[in-house]
Structure 1
Amino acid sequence: MMMMHSTCIWACLAILASLPALAISAQQIMKPASASDGVLRSAEVLQGALWTDSGNCEVDEEVPRNSQCLLQKKAESLDTASRKVLGGQRVEVGVGSGNSKLAFTPTQGKAGMLSAALVDEVCSEDFYSPSQLETDFHEHAIAWTQDKIGLCSHLGQSAKQWLDQNKAGILTGETTSVFSRLCKKDYPVQLLEPLAGILRDPRFICNDTSEFMLYSIEWLLLADGEVRRAGSVPSKHLFFDAGGSHFSDALSFFTSTYQQRGIVFDHIFAWEAKNQTYEAYWTDVPAEVRQFWEPRVTFYNGVPVTAETGDQNNPVERVYELCSPDDFCAFKLDIDTPLVELALAQQLLHSPHKTAASLDELFFEHHVEGLMEDYGWKYSTNGTYLDSYNLFSALRHIGVRAHSWI
């Protein structure tokens, strides 16, 4: 992890200015004399937009207007999650190990084989370069995500190139432009999947709306052991899972995929608001897998994630506390509570220097208006796909491998 150049700071802040949850305009962020001063001033503006002078969050009247309104409420999380549907069908509540639990669907498909690093190309400076596909979708974010015809026609052949190359692990000819590039000085050039379409598998909706496609992870390009600076070895590998209902849901995918890609986590911190038996958390996990990972997992059972500054159950605070530039740290944020999720995402953007020095990779399911409302997002949206593009792009400009999640 590297500290970013001042040019990256201004690129991030310019993008961040358009996010609706912050309710500010680009004119409110003025470039001061120094980069450090700019970070400070912008943070003040952003904080003022999210919190009132008295420290209360600006939320719906039904929510208590005090510092606790940023707490992930257990009932809210469960109610939102229970609305997840597949092709209009509700995901039913099941029973496991004596406790009621939500029947979340694990990831579908096989992780891509494409290397995240071009080891023969070393970066001379910090920058983020979106692919042409990403640039085009960013410029036409609203129009191109309004309906199936517009979405699929503009993804076109790029979607096939994207999936084929990632699955085969081979870049071919001019189609390398499908992937975006991230650079940190003295590190290899890194590749990422483009921020395009509805930020899921590009075959979903265009090809079919099956459960497999809805939860497919075959489009994601995760970090691997080659993204580190030549000759350096991370002192720690840490993973933070906000919304870790069961190990078999997402962590099974993350741990096995990262391990295949040369990264084995020394420790995992997982929060889940819904209280359950300890055994329920390890349901459907093979004995040998559990034996390896159980000593490495700290599971906060029945503990909601919070966005309160300084709180030990604020995963961003834990990332800042435990991760250094020599470590590899990844964070999955998916608690289906937009109020808290956006506050945590904004916290990462408000402290770009700390974020750049602490966090390597982020996965976040940002629920927004549009085509996904028919597939589980109807009751929990905040913003548009343009806001999603802006959010993930800003984080990538900071130096974080930011991905949409399922």
Structure 2
Amino acid sequence: MGPRLKMETGYIVPRTQCVKPEGGRRLGACTRGGSSRSIFYDLGSAEYQIRVDGKAGSDSLDLDGSSLSGQSVPLFYRMYERRCISFDAIYAWEARKIPLDDWWRPVPAAMRPKIHFVNEPVVGEDTPTANSFLHTLATTAKPTDFVVLKVDIEGQKGGPELEIVRVIANEPNLTNLVDEIYFEYHFFFDGLDFGWHQVDKAKMGTVDDALALMYKLRSQGVRSHFWV
């Protein structure tokens, strides 16, 4: 087995619908009632599985509470399943071209009807096209749904990550659709390199801008996490 990619996630407290035996709710309990569906939107999904030396490996996931490894669709599905939330639908976008047979081959049969995979770059505009996340969100989710969004678009230089999250924060009709967001914000911080390579300070903003955006989302009831 090849090396695992691990990310420190001990700081994240996702929502849960699990109840303690004595009847109390766990930290981060989902309080939105009447949800008709649970939906996961993944902007930057990569393959369904980890690839080792160019070959598909097992989707080995380390869910010990402090680190995670694995590609994001199975990773998030299991992370929330462990918290008593099973996604009814998954919408995934990946800019890097992947042979569709290769992408779908490792997907379990029970998962296939849930997943909508778009192998095109995400666009920031709200247009009636498959690669428009904002249009897809507005037409597939309802305020009563439990919606999780991960925004970590790799391979799209100058991509629309920040634009999309800002729109969600500033438009109440979209803010009201999203319950939880994981966002890899490529902010500028004293010229340090966090693996994001060159960051345009004028375009992406500083760590203060990042904190302000996440605070705005949180103050509107969106459980917002910095992703890695």
TM-score category, normalised to shorter length: 0.7 to 0.9
Shift of 1:266: 0.7
TM-score normalised by structure 1 residue count: 0.43
Contact 1:319-1:329 within 8 A present in 2 as well: no
Please list every run of 5 or more consecutive structure 2 residues that lacks an aligned counterpart in the other structure: 18-28, 50-70
Contact 2:91-2:117 within 8 A present in 1 as well: yes
Shift of 1:379: 2.0
1:237 aligns with 2:55: no
Report the Cα distance in structure 2 between the residues aligned to 1:390 and 1:338, rounded to whole angstroms: 21
What is the aligned counterpart of 1:377 among 181, 188, 196?
196
1:333 aligns with 2:151: yes
Matched residue type, 1:217: T
Report the Cα distance in structure 1 between the residues aligned to 2:73 and 2:139, rounded to whole angstroms: 22
Shift of 1:346: 1.7
SS in 2 for 1:241: strand
What is the aligned counterpart of 2:127 among 310, 315, 321?
310
1:121-146 Cα shifts (integer Å, max 9, x gaps) = xxxxxxxxxxxxxxxxxxxxxxxxxx
Match of 2:65 in 1: none
Shift of 1:282: 4.8
Report the Cα distance in structure 2 between the residues aligned to 1:357 and 1:299, rounded to whole angstroms: 24
Matched residue type, 1:343: E
Report the Cα distance in structure 2 between the residues aligned to 1:324 and 1:375, rounded to whole angstroms: 36
Please list every run of 5 or more consecutive structure 1 residues that lacks an aligned counterpart in the other structure: 1-104, 109-214
What is the aligned counterpart of 1:267 among 89, 95, 111?
89
Matches within 5 A, 1:248-287: 248=49, 249-282=71-104, 285=106
Matches within 5 A, 1:170-209: none
Shift of 1:339: 4.3
What is the aligned counterpart of 1:367 among 186, 195, 215?
186
Aligned residues: 189
Contact 1:268-1:298 within 8 A present in 2 as well: yes
* Higher relative helix content: 1
1:178-215 Cα shifts (integer Å, max 9, x gaps) = xxxxxxxxxxxxxxxxxxxxxxxxxxxxxxxxxxxxx2
Matched residue type, 2:221: G
Contact 2:16-2:84 within 8 A present in 1 as well: yes
Report the Cα distance in structure 2 between the residues aligned to 1:298 and 1:400, rounded to whole angstroms: 24
Cα RMSD of the aligned pairs, angstroms, is 2.5
Match of 1:394 in 2: 216
Report the Cα distance in structure 2 between the residues aligned to 1:405 and 1:343, rounded to whole angstroms: 16
Match of 1:208 in 2: none
Whose relative contact order is higher, 1 or 2, with alpha carbons under 8 Å and at least 6 apart? 1
Shift of 1:216: 1.7
Shift of 1:375: 3.6
Matches within 5 A, 1:111-150: none
Shift of 1:371: 7.2
Shift of 1:234: 1.4
Matched residue type, 1:292: A
Report the Cα distance in structure 2 between the residues aligned to 1:255 and 1:372, rounded to whole angstroms: 35
Contact 1:324-1:358 within 8 A present in 2 as well: yes
TM-score normalised by structure 2 residue count: 0.74
